[in-house]
Amino acid sequence: MDPEFELGHPVFDADNHYYEALDAFTRHLPAGMGPRCVQWATIEGKQYHVVGGKVSRAVANATFNPISKPGCLSEYFRGNPNNVDVLALLKDSEPIRDEYLNPVARTKVLDDQGLAGCFMYPTLGMLYEEILKDDPEAVGITFRAFNRWLAEDWGFDHEGRIVNAPYLTLTDVDWAVEELEWALTQGARLIVMRPAAPTTLLGRKNPFDEMFDPFWARVNEAGITVVVHAGDSGPSSNGYAVDGFAANFKGGGFRPSLKNFHIEQAVHEYLLSMTLANHFTKFPNLRVASVENGAEFLPDLFRKLRSTAKKMPGYYAEDPVDIFRRHVWVNPFWEDDLVTVVEHMGADRVIFGSDWPHIEALPHPLDYLPETKPLSDDDRRLVLHDNAIELATLRAL
């Protein structure tokens, strides 16, 4: 943090994570469902999650103990000016910290970090729907159990400072409506989903198909914000890279591939499809926050929307980019150019998120403050605080 840069307002971090407890997926799992859902296995002395009968290697250590240090790859994501050794940084691990596992310890860390509060999302929880997608019933059972663990260990609103989002999926629309109703009764202020077309018993479907209207209608009525967060959304590399959510390691080395851009591809297709379907016109109280997906997709998305509007005059009631900006909030990657993102979206539609304590995070969330210097005081407050507070408040019809 720049010691010469003083704020006259609090900061709310819209992208934080917990690391799941060892029994996060199994504590509330119905007896006998482990083989179809999630269970533990020890392989060559190391513990792995077995998800839907498949050993998951999506993360190097699913127990998170030990765990790489927060923001250890921040220099790499800044463009790697000093040619850091990525593998060496990842191997510099430490025992898991209390603040990754419980809200009381995390609140103390928020104080130390100078944060008023944060939104929190799953780590492994953002990865497992894709692995389970061919068994939609197992997806629902798994995440119902997961959400009960989350409510039990963290709650959905801890002292107004830690806002946790239950995970929702559209693999079964009736399940989604039931789980949303339960989450609302538990005080949920956000829900989180992956930007992907769900696989249902009828096959893979557009999430904005009318078959899912009962869910979206209830979201619209409740006025709860839908966070679409980066995760394993299953984009295909079409043969240019090996598919599956894992780092690009080969023979102990690290190399780039098409998979580096899958996060942006997934959210681009999701939000573009949402707008092309006139979904926001059908559900005018809908608010969507794109988190940890970056913002580089915006210019191309806007170009495609306006191109469609020209080719199909009258399809949209107004400029589709204006519709998009009214309903969507964007959390840029912290290494993105903030001024450009604000120019695209407007300051009232941009939210700050550090991704702490993940390896891609800022080591200290307020390290982001210098990026906001070019903004006016009013715009800075919107980005760093007010927009997040608005999104965490249920909005009446």
Q: How far apart are CA 253 and CA 249, in angstroms?
A: 5
The model's confidence at residue 150, banded by pLDDT at 50, 70 and 90, is very high
- What CATH code is carried by the domain that includes residue 166? 3.20.20.140
Is residue 79 a part of any domain in this protein? no
For residues 127-148, give the mean pLDDT. Answer: 98
**pTM listed for this prediction:** 0.96
Q: Using one digit for the tens of pLDDT, what is the confidence trace for 29-48?
A: 999 999 999 999 999 999 99
Domain count of the chain? 1
- In 10 A of CB 248, how many CB atoms? 14
Q: What is the largest CA-CA distance in the chain?
A: 63
- What is the residue type of 189? R
Is residue 31 a part of any domain in this protein? no
Is residue 50 a part of any domain in this protein? no
Domain that holds residue 356: 12-21+102-391
Q: Which of 212, 231, 206 is nearest to 126 (CA)?
A: 231
Q: Using one digit for the tens of pLDDT, what is the confidence trace for 309-333?
A: 999 999 999 999 999 999 999 999 9
| Per-residue pLDDT, 255 | 73
Query: Residue 256 pLDDT more than 60?
Result: yes
Is residue 54 a part of any domain in this protein? no
Query: Residue 249 pLDDT more than 60?
Result: no
Is residue 52 a part of any domain in this protein? no
| Per-residue pLDDT, 247 | 47
Query: Residue 1 pLDDT more than 50?
Result: no
Q: How far apart are CA 46 and CA 40, in angstroms?
A: 10
Q: Using one digit for the tens of pLDDT, what is the confidence trace for 58-116?
A: 898 999 999 999 999 988 887 788 888 888 888 889 999 999 999 999 999 999 999 99
